[in-house]
Structure 1
Amino acid sequence: MSHFSYRNGVLHAEQVSLQALAAQFGTPLYIYSKAALVENYSAYADACRKAGRADAGALVCYSVKSNSNLAVLNLLGRLGSGFDIVSGGELLRVVAAGGDARKVIFSGVGKGRDEMKLALEHDILCFNVESIPEVARLNEVAGELGKRARISLRVNPNVDAKTHPYISTGLKENKFGVAYEDALNCYRTAAALSNIEVVGIDCHIGSQLLDDSPLLEALDKVIELVDALEAEGIPIHHLDIGGGIGIRYDDEQPVAVGDYLARVFARVDAWRKEKYGGRQIQVMFEPGRSIVGNAGVLLTEVQYLKHGESKNFAIVDAAMNDLMRPAMYEAWHGVQAVRQDAGRAQVYDVVGPVCESGDWLARGRELAIAPGDLLAFASAGAYGMTMASNYNTRGRAAEVLVDGVRAHLIRKRENPSDLFALESIAD
């Protein structure tokens, strides 16, 4: 997280002190670095350009579910990003942020009729469909609107992503996609429908992958399927290989984005040259975590230090409702004091005020802290705010985007009245 560093003993986001941000905006507080977002997106865009695919040959579709703040979407859209969405609400976010609906792909297993209608009315690029019943419903909805729906079929290649079971999506037991063995028949069915236009193929096997070998294995299986489809007269215009590249939370060494994309393009180009005389196929990616994960931190204030016989607790004002990943996945986030202190460190479990034993953010961390000190949880830009809740009637945190010496409030803090504004008392 190179854009978060200490200056004169105080942790900064770019050139802004986190102490100053806490004083101005309060805590808990999500803080994002614009420079980090641009740098991380550019790793994908630059690799596409290097492979000669700067225009229509490749499309990076940012995964909105990882961080859906309008300012983040607007920034990425202006950089040229497309968007991978999983709900009608996310589509409306993209549109509100000024994103191009023609660069939107709609994933997810449970799309409703209203969501399909909304996406068709916005003329999105493609639906990533995940079952024959979904294709049939989409055909009906498109027919009612007098439109044809462009689709890719999400194929489940049964490749083990070797990641956490909750974020693995490419095995037979996962709910996502169509089984590889059934895909050809599913494409035949879809291609025969009057309001469906088959344009691509999609595959996403999971996230937080540190090694790209499972992704390349899945790519090889998808390539075989494209050959079978082309042989049956079902042309495929784009190949969407999903996202999944991991980030460093602790001591992981994830594959470099540029190296991974170079291997993807080399395989695709060699295949197209051998089988199709070099006729190009568009390649799509769905990165989320690798763009925004290490571009953000969660800032929190220590409320109490509670020393026990077997454990010490640092009780902070952030909680599991602010950062769900530790409670849900037992995920590890780095945590550091905003003010460097030469005082004696002790080992703490960092916990929040929510009334659950599972409300912990970090365990067994050596910290030199006192009540009133600030802590920063690293690598919190992805699946932090988007997974936040209002449990215990706690307002969600504010969000700030730092650009050099400037800090922009990009989401106000919720207050209790916001949380029950939509409720009413029965007569």
Structure 2
Amino acid sequence: MPQILSSSPPDAQDADAFFDGVDLRRLAERLPTPFHAYSAHAIRQRIDGLQQALHGLDATLCYAVKANSTLAILHLMAEAGVGADIVSSGELWRSLHAGIPAERIVFSGVGKTEQEIAEALAAGILRFNVESADELHTLQRLASDLHIAARAAVRINPDVDAQTHAKISTGKAENKFGVSIAEARRWFAEAGRLTHVRLDGLHVHIGSQILSVEPFRLALQRVAAFWRELEANGHAIASIDVGGGLGVCYRAGQDHPVAPADYAAAIREALAGFRGRILLEPGRYLVAEAGVLLTRVIRIKQGERQNFLVLDAAMNDLLRPSLYDAWHDIVPLVDGQRERTRYDVVGPVCETGDTFARDRELPELRPGDLVMIRGTGAYGASMASTYNSRPLAAEVLLDQRRHAIVRHRQRFEDMVAGEQPARDWDMA
């Protein structure tokens, strides 16, 4: 059951400790760190803001489940009428289980297996975003076997630089995603041979954490030109999926995200006159800043060249800094004024890469102090692992002074479930 855990309204000194009306310091007295906390109110605000910016368009939001697949988050999306953009049958199962209707689910990804395609066909999802000729032919064969008509969109690779980190750029010619406009043109020319696939959509997604409207505008212009060409040649286009990629503020004062109104204006301008449905796939934008990771200081290690602040959270709880050299604001939740000092902020995992920040200026900290890492609602828990046999952290949903545990901290018994010594041997 949700519990109320708040105190008197925060003053300027301890405002950081309150998140969605909940005092995180008191919450951390009840739950062992590390744990993730999410603001339901912040997620709803992002959904509402984006929907308002798109008002007047036939537009459907399909949340990118990979950003955070926790069932409680997906349930919030379902309540708000948001669909799902999935990339696996596991994400399909989670979305349906959370109450997102199949008719609001689109399936993306370059490596859909035959089993995954068949499961999505049987569920009756809205659309497949197809990324290769082999996938298109597989979809045709499986849909024919099941006597189902599948709806599909071709994912265009517009060869646009999203001006983001190389590992989250997806719209350049050298990336594995999508096909060229020339190849897509051939697909539509031969679409009459597809007896069980209705190829009537276009899809584009050029990357993630995009902080300028220009890459969006350029990609949309190229897709719009292709849409007009196809319609002029008699190919009706029922939907255009403009993908996701809206960036968020990870580093206060340096990251300046695109305003929803400016993003919507780019869509309106590029797709002026389009009479079909517009699909959007926001993920990070809806949940990243709605999440924080709470962790405690284990110890301060004095090095020869720098001091190490060792936390009980690690790269298995938040991989982004290790994987992308990503910046996350780190906020100590401590009382009183303290001298400032510089730390390399690290976790206890036996990897040099288990580092959250280097040479970060913070107040002097002591063992047991509580620390908040911001912007962890996307690609935090969803990318977590049990490396070093560290249990998955708990997840807590906050909602206007209330909190509810939505995933309990993993037990050791849970972590080894399904494992056993080799007893029953078979000859291959």
* 1:171 pairs with 2:172: yes
CA gap of 1:340–1:189, structure 2 versus 1, over 3 A, is: farther
User: What is the match of residue 257 of structure 2?
Assistant: 254
- Taking the TM superposition and a 5 Å limit, the aligned residue runs for 1:29-68 are 29-49=35-55, 52-53=56-57, 57-68=58-69
User: What is the match of residue 275 of structure 1?
Assistant: none
CA gap of 1:65–1:20, structure 2 versus 1, over 3 A, is: same
Deviation at 1:26, TM superposition (A): 1.4
Output one character per residue of 1:149-181: Cα deviation in whole Å (capped at 9) or x when no partner: 110000000011111100000011000000122
- Taking the TM superposition and a 5 Å limit, the aligned residue runs for 1:209-248 are 209-248=210-249
Say if 2:283 and 2:378, in contact at 8 Å, map to a contact too: yes
Opposite residue 401 of structure 1, the aligned amino acid is: L
User: Which residue among 259, 270, 290 is the counterpart of 1:267?
Assistant: 270
Deviation at 1:19, TM superposition (A): 1.1
Deviation at 1:365, TM superposition (A): 1.4
- Taking the TM superposition and a 5 Å limit, the aligned residue runs for 1:46-195 are 46-49=52-55, 52-53=56-57, 57-195=58-196
SS at match of 1:32: strand
State the alpha-carbon separation in 1 of the partners of residues 50 and 339 from structure 2: 43
User: Which residue among 383, 404, 407 is the counterpart of 1:387?
Assistant: 383
User: What is the match of residue 276 of structure 1?
Assistant: none
* 1:308 pairs with 2:280: no
CA gap of 1:301–1:346, structure 2 versus 1, over 3 A, is: same
User: What is the match of residue 412 of structure 1?
Assistant: 408
State the alpha-carbon separation in 1 of the partners of residues 412 and 191 from structure 2: 48
User: Which residue among 339, 345, 348 is the counterpart of 1:350?
Assistant: 345
SS at match of 2:334: coil
CA gap of 1:6–1:349, structure 2 versus 1, over 3 A, is: farther
* 1:359 pairs with 2:354: yes
CA gap of 1:184–1:316, structure 2 versus 1, over 3 A, is: same
SS at match of 1:197: strand
State the alpha-carbon separation in 1 of the partners of residues 191 and 85 from structure 2: 22
Q: CA RMSD in A?
A: 1.3
CA gap of 1:45–1:143, structure 2 versus 1, over 3 A, is: same
Name whichever of 251-260 and 33-42 sits farther off: 251-260
Say if 1:245 and 1:254, in contact at 8 Å, map to a contact too: yes
CA gap of 1:6–1:314, structure 2 versus 1, over 3 A, is: farther
* 1:337 pairs with 2:332: yes
State the alpha-carbon separation in 2 of the partners of residues 60 and 394 from structure 1: 35
User: What is the match of residue 421 of structure 1?
Assistant: 417
CA gap of 1:341–1:180, structure 2 versus 1, over 3 A, is: farther
User: What is the match of residue 32 of structure 2?
Assistant: 26
User: Which residue among 304, 321, 328 is the counterpart of 1:326?
Assistant: 321
Deviation at 1:233, TM superposition (A): 2.0
Say if 2:224 and 2:270, in contact at 8 Å, map to a contact too: no
User: What is the match of residue 426 of structure 2?
Assistant: none
SS at match of 2:293: strand
CA gap of 1:191–1:398, structure 2 versus 1, over 3 A, is: farther
State the alpha-carbon separation in 2 of the partners of residues 193 and 214 from structure 1: 33
Opposite residue 94 of structure 1, the aligned amino acid is: S
Output one character per residue of 1:289-333: Cα deviation in whole Å (capped at 9) or x when no partner: 111010000110000011122110011100000000000000000
State the alpha-carbon separation in 2 of the partners of residues 39 and 340 from structure 1: 30
Opposite residue 45 of structure 2, the aligned amino acid is: E
User: What is the match of residue 200 of structure 2?
Assistant: 199
State the alpha-carbon separation in 2 of the partners of residues 199 and 59 from structure 1: 17
SS at match of 1:182: helix
State the alpha-carbon separation in 1 of the partners of residues 404 and 184 from structure 2: 47
SS at match of 2:54: helix
Q: Share of identical aligned residues, percent?
A: 44
State the alpha-carbon separation in 2 of the partners of residues 408 and 204 from structure 1: 34
Opposite residue 320 of structure 1, the aligned amino acid is: M
Say if 1:29 and 1:298, in contact at 8 Å, map to a contact too: yes
Opposite residue 413 of structure 1, the aligned amino acid is: R
Output one character per residue of 1:393-426: Cα deviation in whole Å (capped at 9) or x when no partner: 1111100010111101011111211111111101
SS at match of 1:178: coil
Output one character per residue of 1:89-112: Cα deviation in whole Å (capped at 9) or x when no partner: 001000110111100000000001
Say if 2:20 and 2:39, in contact at 8 Å, map to a contact too: yes
User: What is the match of residue 317 of structure 1?
Assistant: 312
Say if 1:9 and 1:339, in contact at 8 Å, map to a contact too: no
Q: Normalising to structure 1: TM-score of the pair?
A: 0.94
User: What is the match of residue 284 of structure 1?
Assistant: 279
SS at match of 2:190: helix
Deviation at 1:8, TM superposition (A): 6.7
State the alpha-carbon separation in 2 of the partners of residues 340 and 164 from structure 1: 36
Name whichever of 32-41 and 179-188 sits farther off: 179-188
Opposite residue 87 of structure 2, the aligned amino acid is: V
State the alpha-carbon separation in 2 of the partners of residues 93 and 191 from structure 1: 35
* 1:378 pairs with 2:374: yes
State the alpha-carbon separation in 1 of the partners of residues 130 and 247 from structure 2: 25
Aligned length: 410
* 1:396 pairs with 2:392: yes
SS at match of 2:406: strand
Opposite residue 92 of structure 1, the aligned amino acid is: W
Name whichever of 11-20 and 99-108 sits farther off: 11-20
Opposite residue 384 of structure 1, the aligned amino acid is: G
State the alpha-carbon separation in 1 of the partners of residues 339 and 304 from structure 2: 18
Q: Any unmatched runs of 5+ in structure 1?
A: 273-278
Say if 2:342 and 2:362, in contact at 8 Å, map to a contact too: yes
